[in-house]
Structure 1
Amino acid sequence: MPVFEVLQVDMKSGNVVNSLPVTGISYADTLNGAGTCAVGMPLDAADPATLQPGSSGLVVTRDGQPVWGGPVWTATADLAAGTLALSASGWHSYYAGRVLHDGYNRTADQALLLSDWFALCNKDGGIDTDTSKLTTTGRVRARTWTQYELKVVADAISELAEEDGGFNFRYETYWRSATRVGNRALKSGFGGSSFPFVLTHGVNCDVTQVSYDSAAMATRVYAVGADNGNGTKLVGIADNTLSMPTKHVVSTFSDVKSTTSLLEKAHAIAAAGRAPVAIPTLTLYPSDLSPTAFTPGDSGAVQIDSGYVAVLDDFVVTERRTDVDVNGTEVTSLSLANEELFASGD
């Protein structure tokens, strides 16, 4: 059975402050998102002088290696029960509170734009995100915002990733030294790594639910951009040929001032709208599969044969959630979506 530990860290320095005596752990990594972590601990074991939402972070280690990290945003004290509940989000959530307050104007490779934004935040009281593994791809993009637009950095990252020819991104928590952790930005192409083998219902996992959603399906997509100054707006349009009645999807990007960028966004949305989204949720058999073998963005085959649900198809992991009870028992579940949803070209 793996050994888990929850560390309290200082957000700015990454220094480990305490090992917390938690009563339960639940943490999740989300594809191109922040993810979450919730832990409980005895109320009298918390030090209010050092453990504070906004300035403290949590790092979960599994057999000594960091598997999750991020800022604590809320703490709820139950005086009757004598417990403290901590709620944290992954490192990306920090960048929802950072803006490009001096504006920004550059045309460069995707990786160089990302590195710029992180560097601007790092030098101005940030969390020292490491960008050394952000490699260029040859996909050049243009970004322009004035200082008055106060572009939110998390939004800028997500929008860049979601364009046609985009990427998956995540943050890795790692040891900088024996007493200090760091966070590192990573990006990869759509598809990620392949599953170690086919996930088969009743063999190495239990598929607990499969939902189907056609909300994103579209025969035509309109990506509406900024006002061009004469009362009209820029628009990018992309079409799908589908055996369904005409259905339009309109998405607004009010700060995008380039028709090329709007076309890229329209094509990405259209690619995601070619078929209903199938969303299986499954629990791994711990004796057969290590949860660390699956990272959001990874893809591979899932096989299900259960009445209406007859599936043998490729899926992408959209979320990995791990729950650890007071006895140290670990249960990991995966949420997935059809691989076609992430199809992209350039």
Structure 2
Amino acid sequence: MAQYRVIFAEFLTGALWGELAVSELSYSLALNGPGSATVKIPLWAFDWSALSPWRTLVYVQRGEQILWGGPLVAFGVDLESEDAELNCAGLWAYYRRRLITYDSAFTQRDQGEIVKALVQDFGDGTGQYPWNSGPRALMWDGSTTTGVLRDRTYRKYERKALGQAVEDLAGVRNGFDFRIGFGWSGSRVANFFRLAPASGVPTDLVLEHGANCDIPSFSVDGTSMVTEAVTTGGGQADDQLAVWWYNLPAELRMPRLSAVQSRQDVTTVDVLTGYSQQMISEGSTPVVIPSVRLYPDSYPGPGDVQPGQLVRVRARVGGRLVLDRTYKITGVSVKLTDAGEETTLALVPEGVYASVGSAATP
């Protein structure tokens, strides 16, 4: 673990407090979610006053890169082994704990600008409500313009969770991906909110079994396949708003597969249609999912892969090409022990996000 450091800072000010003596470390990056980290430290290095849940931010540094960051949320102390295990959540976990507490309406606004306004107003304390307590922890890297305009209204009385509002925007048809990245800004760590196309960010990375990674197995999963997607919205009984979206070409080859999603806070057909379209797109084909484990101390490593990137995955068996597809990285998990570094990737096929669907009926 010589190339890794685990440092900690005060959440509200960003001031670096020190470095942790680490015996074991694991962390995960998640697309459109917070991820997590577990840090084991010897008991002699445990500072009860400094390491306080939701007051302390923990960062994982590899070489010069900051690869992970987020608040300490819990810890356990083992007096027999004389160590402490710190359980941390990715920084986005904090914004899941905030509520939209004032009426906010957006008409034909870029969805990225809606996200920025919501996060600044109701999560970070840097928007139009300066009295709205927040850590002022996020910077924006200029990726907020997506080219997709939305109409959205959030009512004070709904008390909608900020994190859920952003994740709902991301998950609708023609939505986006988001994550929080990290980098040095002088002597402090800066937290950058980044948006990217839901189709993925192209790269030149090729992950080839036996060359720069292991692909011990892959699965073909049709569990989530859908040909009829129904999304229900606001209202009750016969007055409840509902939208259907179909994959009729698929139903020429296979029987109908139905799924229902409830969106009680949605009162417009266009928004419900977007959710139904996304269900059909994601459920249009069986998902071929490889298990990918990067080689330690080689390229690409943990600092070279990020959720949202598109990578080519290839595998040959007996000289025969059995897998050659483009995938989007949805998660990166790293585990460090005395035995070394192990990095695994969570992937979804690129085609999952292709436009599919034949008919919609309100």
State whether TM-score is above 0.5.
yes
Task: Find the aligned partners of 1:309 and 1:74 in 2 and give their Cα distance.
Answer: 46
Q: CA RMSD in A?
A: 2.1
Partner of 1:293: 304
Deviation at 1:34, TM superposition (A): 0.8
| AA partner of residue 323 (structure 1) | K
Partner of 1:110: 111
Change (3 A) 1:344 1:114: farther
Task: Find the aligned partners of 1:297 and 1:132 in 2 and give their Cα distance.
Answer: 16
Moved over 6 A (4+): none
Larger mean Cα displacement after TM superposition, 272-281 or 160-169: 272-281
Q: State the Cα deviation string for residues 32-83 of structure 1 (Å, max 9, x = none).
A: 1111111100112111111111211110111132111011111111111111
1:237 and 2:244 equivalent?
Answer: yes
Partner of 2:229: 221
Deviation at 1:172, TM superposition (A): 0.9
| AA partner of residue 62 (structure 1) | R
Partner of 1:157: 166
Deviation at 1:309, TM superposition (A): 9.5
Larger mean Cα displacement after TM superposition, 184-193 or 55-64: 184-193
Change (3 A) 1:132 1:195: closer
Partner of 1:127: 135
SS in 2 for 1:130: strand
Task: Find the aligned partners of 2:300 and 2:66 in 1 and give their Cα distance.
Answer: 19
Runs of 5+ consecutive residues of structure 1 not aligned to the other structure? none
Task: Find the aligned partners of 1:309 and 1:163 in 2 and give their Cα distance.
Answer: 35
Task: Find the aligned partners of 2:2 and 2:118 in 1 and give their Cα distance.
Answer: 37
Partner of 1:248: 258
Change (3 A) 1:306 1:125: farther
Deviation at 1:340, TM superposition (A): 1.5
Q: State the Cα deviation string for residues 11-43 of structure 1 (Å, max 9, x = none).
A: 121111110001121111112111111110011
| AA partner of residue 110 (structure 1) | Q
Deviation at 1:230, TM superposition (A): 7.8
Q: State the Cα deviation string for residues 174-227 of structure 1 (Å, max 9, x = none).
A: 22331x222111001134333434222122210133233222211110111111
Match of residue 342, structure 1, among 339, 346, 353? 353
The question of whether the paired residues in 1 share the 8 Å contact of 2:213 and 2:293 is answered with yes
| AA partner of residue 325 (structure 1) | T
| % identical aligned pairs | 29
Q: Scaled by the length of structure 1, what TM-score is found?
A: 0.93
Partner of 1:275: 285
1:146 and 2:155 equivalent?
Answer: yes
The question of whether the paired residues in 2 share the 8 Å contact of 1:206 and 1:282 is answered with yes
Runs of 5+ consecutive residues of structure 2 not aligned to the other structure? 126-131, 357-362
Change (3 A) 1:210 1:144: same
Partner of 1:262: 272
Task: Find the aligned partners of 2:141 and 2:317 in 1 and give their Cα distance.
Answer: 46
Deviation at 1:343, TM superposition (A): 2.6
